[in-house]
Amino acid sequence: MALRWWRYPLFTFLTLGALAGFFVLFAAAVVYPELPSLRVLTDYRPKIPLRIYTADGVLIEEFGEERRSLVKIGAVPAVLKEAILAAEDERFYQHGGISVRGVVRAALANLTAGGAKEGASTITMQVARNFFLTRKKTFSRKFSEALLSLKIEHYLTKDQILELYINQIYLGQRAYGFAMAAQTYFGKPLDRLTLGEAAVLAGLPKAPSRYNPV
């Protein structure tokens, strides 16, 4: 007698799950060796604009498409770091690059909304995307992004990853990185930001042109 799959939902679910797991592991084994080198991260040298100052140190002109001021993670005030983690990846220091909890939450939200309304990108995944990938919403891009995130987490510390994110992310008005965004929008260095200003900057990565205060 032929096995009627619909009469054994648990068996069917476990079988399909095992097949899906095998497919993912096989794809990962094929793709992982082809992932790009992380040298661009370990030897981070972003574009820095040419700046011209007066004799007494006043900036009078700046040339370059990307406006950026680099900052070490130790110089990032706690109020800004906490605001970034709260807005983008609250479990950053607990997960290994991919947040299972975030994936499940996003899947449920998207299922309820009837479409892809919410993502599950961790800060590590955003670093992978910003340095190596496009923003195209395809399965292959998301899969590569996930594998790159695991590779990044293996070779870099959490603070190194967060420092890259803080310096590389685009925040509108040609400002790249939070240090330049603080100067662009509030005319002050990071260590002088108020709680409200830090919250505004932390919310910019989702939609810089829509949320920036200019």
Strand partners, 32: none
* Gap between the Cα atoms of 200 and 214, Å rounded: 11
CA-angle at 168, arms to 213 and 36, nearest 5°: 145
- State mean pLDDT over 42-47: 87
Please check whether residue 158 is in contact with residue 49, taking contact to mean a CB–CB distance below 8 angstroms. Answer: no
With left for phi above 0 and alpha for psi between -120 and 50, is residue 177 left, alpha or beta?
left
* Gap between the Cα atoms of 52 and 134, Å rounded: 33
What is the share, in percent, of the chain residues with pLDDT greater than 70? 66
What is the share, in percent, of the chain residues with pLDDT greater than 90? 47
What band does 70 get if pLDDT is binned at 50, 70 and 90?
very high
* Gap between the Cα atoms of 182 and 197, Å rounded: 8
Domain ranges of the chain: 10-34+67-211
Strand partners, 62: 51
Task: Indicate if the pLDDT at residue 106 is higher than 90.
Answer: no
pTM: 0.77
What's the mean per-residue pLDDT of the chain?
Answer: 79
Comparing 31 with 188, the larger pLDDT belongs to: 188
Identify the architecture of domain 10-34+67-211 in CATH: Orthogonal Bundle (1.10)
Give the chain's length: 214
- State mean pLDDT over 101-122: 60
User: φ and ψ at 174, to 5 degrees?
Assistant: 65, 15
